[in-house]
Amino acid sequence: MPLEAGLLEILACPACHAPLNDASTADTPELICTSKDCGLAYPVRDGIPVLLVDEARRPA
């Protein structure tokens, strides 16, 4: 289930405050930080972004 466009516009990375991009795939729904220095990937569970740094992963 994709996030609403209005919601995505106001969300920011909790670690560096950069905007987030929806990089969801069929098996991995997630939001990716757009900062080159940060780049954390935050999971989306049941259509709800989990914006906790402890839950984020570093993309390979």
- Model confidence at 54, in pLDDT bands (50, 70, 90)? very high
Model pLDDT, residue 39: 92
Residues with Cβ within 8 Å of residue 30, at least 6 apart in sequence = 23, 24, 41, 42, 43, 44
Chain segment 1-52, per-residue pLDDT in tens: 567 778 888 999 999 999 999 887 778 899 999 999 999 999 999 888 999 9
Reported pTM: 0.86
Asked whether the beta carbons of 44 and 52 are under 8 A apart, the reply is no
